[in-house]
Chains A and B, each alone.
Chain A
């Protein structure tokens, strides 16, 4: 379980865009050289990000070696009613990290 944070505003208004900030920390490296492959390119820990609101896509990102090791992505969502925002990070080594946060617009 990697350390992952998702932040949504305290107050969300129905139908109005709000910013969602996410930070997914990559686990510590066994040795500093492990960050780069044989060609010297950084090896990303996370290769894709996807956020959905009750199954509807909100934001998707394909992450290459040019993205910081700890992945910080912010994006905007509009919710008309209460729901669940789910964020999913795909790991390069296979598998996913998933976190959900309840959205309650007023």
Chain B
């Protein structure tokens, strides 16, 4: 066999590396919603400027990649502890639901950790997001994409 134009090994390796890099941070890519759309509108309704949200800073949102049942999808919100700037409020959003705001949380003085789990309804496949406001005025966010197919979405 005669290779007329062998594919350079270096180019192949670079291509593989690039392909591996692109989807490496899908959470970050998906976690940077624009200043338009239902999530931004829901944030503004709560007095939070969407541009001010720092995504992924000390905040994780854990959820199944594929929901078994759109009627009750388990999500876990976990925030890094910062005694100088305790979390005052956490808001959870499902932007593709008709009512984007799902729940709001207030940690109390007896809370052991800024972490909570909740089962939510999802109308369809979407990127669920949560934002937390700290005492120093900073707002951090986290998000996760959840596929809703098998069990069907919920009319939310």
Contacts of B105 in A (CB 8 A): 59-62
- Least Cβ–Cβ distance between B144 and chain A, in angstroms: 15
- Least Cβ–Cβ distance between A84 and chain B, in angstroms: 11
Which among A42, A60, A64, A74 is the interface contact of B106 at CB below 8 angstroms?
Answer: A60
For the complex of A and B, the 10 pairs showing the least CB-CB separation, nearest first, are: A17-B112, A57-B108, A66-B102, A76-B112, A78-B112, A76-B113, A68-B72, A74-B117, A58-B110, A60-B106
Q: Does B101 contact A (CB under 8 A)?
A: yes
Known contacts A59-B107, A65-B99, A67-B102; A42 and B156 CB within 8 A of each other: yes
List residues 78-120 of chain B with CB under 8 A from any CB of chain A: 94, 97-99, 101-120
Contacts of B119 in A (CB 8 A): 67-68, 70-72
A42 touches B116 (CB 8 A): no
How many residues of chain A get a CB closer than 8 Å to chain B's CBs? 37
Of the listed residues B73, B74, B105, the one surrounded by the most CB atoms of chain A closer than 10 A to its CB is B105
List residues 38-68 of chain A with CB under 8 A from any CB of chain B: 39-42, 51-54, 56-68
Interface of B is mostly: strand
Least CB separation from B81: chain A residue: A17
Known contacts A67-B118, A74-B116; A59 and B102 CB within 8 A of each other: no
A69 touches B71 (CB 8 A): yes
Could you tell me the distance between the alpha carbons of A67 and B92 in the complex, rounded to whole angstroms? Answer: 10
- Least Cβ–Cβ distance between A92 and chain B, in angstroms: 14
Contacts of A68 in B (CB 8 A): 71-73, 119-121
Could you tell me the distance between the alpha carbons of A54 and B155 in the complex, rounded to whole angstroms? Answer: 39
Which among A40, A60, A64, A73 is the interface contact of B155 at CB below 8 angstroms?
Answer: A40
A53 touches B110 (CB 8 A): yes
Least CB separation from A58: chain B residue: B110
Could you tell me the distance between the alpha carbons of A61 and B74 in the complex, rounded to whole angstroms? Answer: 16
A72 touches B118 (CB 8 A): yes
A59 touches B99 (CB 8 A): no
